[in-house]
Amino acid sequence: MLPTGSAVSVFALDVAAHTGPWRTRHPAEKALLALGLLVCAVALPTWPGAFLSGGAAAVLLAAARVPLVVVLRAARVPLLFVATSTVPLLVSMSAPARLAIDPVGLSVAAQTAGRSVAALTCLLLFSATTPLSDVLPRLHRLGIPPAVTEIAALTYRMLFLLVESVRAVRQAQAARLGFRTWRTTYRSLAGQAGAVFVRALRRARRLEEGLAVRGYTGSLAVQVEAHRVSVPFVAATTVLLATIVTVTTGPGSPW
């Protein structure tokens, strides 16, 4: 079953991407910016390369008017994973089975956490400003088979329907006091899983029948909204990425 927090994050990111001021920009522009910053955060030294990349992505998220609460909700689960993954780097085990704080591990943990948070911020910059419906149809030009993009689009669409089904069944069970005790909770969760599975199977069958009635031949014709690539935006992105690389690895850099 999908957790409620993850469902809220998915909906919030999708709404932010569709309603933000960067909605009319070409996806290639935002991909160049976000993925370029991601490469800098991963390939350059953590200080100051990853710090500058993550900071620039955070500033651009604010410039794109993405609500802070949306960013925090989408980042809380990955940040929890980063926190739990870096804790083992802080300690070392020596014989006989003795745990101790590793002085070298503190630096390694800080670098790992900093690079991970910077990369996460760069990914959120792209996902919070670019709807998936704008990206998938354009992947054909990159040589991605249409079947792959269509399956991804249908899966993304079915995800929202599945979340709505889970929410409707859960509300109905709560109204009938289905979560009053542990015993009723387990029984409700089992019934919820069965009901959602039946609904998902029924929706998939209806979707298949609808495509067959409309003469589906192996590809879905989707009208893509035309967006012109902004030369100033691309130039500013290039300057930003070049500045981060130069500051981090340039001859006059102290790092």
Residues 237 and 208 in one domain: no
- Cite the DSSP H helix spans in the chain: 4-19, 27-43, 51-63, 68-86, 103-127, 132-135, 146-175, 182-213, 231-249
Domain encompassing residue 50:
1-130+228-255
In a domain, 39, yes or no: yes
Backbone angles phi, psi at 167, to 5 degrees: -65, -40
Given a cut of 70, whether residue 251 has pLDDT beyond it is no
Higher-confidence residue of 158 and 54: namely 54
In a domain, 139, yes or no: no
> What pLDDT score was predicted for residue 73?
85
In a domain, 249, yes or no: yes
> What pLDDT score was predicted for residue 224?
65
The CA distances from residue 207 to 39, 128, 130, 158, 221, in Å, are 39, 28, 26, 10, 16
Residues 38 and 63 in one domain: yes
Residues 88 and 165 in one domain: no
Residues 110 and 216 in one domain: no
Mean pLDDT, residues 197-223 taken together: 74
In a domain, 137, yes or no: no
Residues 217 and 116 in one domain: no
The domain tally of the chain equals 2
In a domain, 166, yes or no: yes
In a domain, 210, yes or no: yes
In a domain, 197, yes or no: yes
Mean pLDDT, residues 103-120 taken together: 83
Residues 124 and 149 in one domain: no
Question: What band does 1 get if pLDDT is binned at 50, 70 and 90?
Answer: very low
Per-residue pLDDT tens over the stretch 162-207: 777 778 878 887 887 777 788 888 888 887 777 778 877 887 788 7
Residues 235 and 151 in one domain: no
Q: What is this structure's pTM? A: 0.73
Give CA–CA dist 131/182, Å, rounded: 40
> What pLDDT score was predicted for residue 188?
80
Mean pLDDT, residues 137-165 taken together: 75
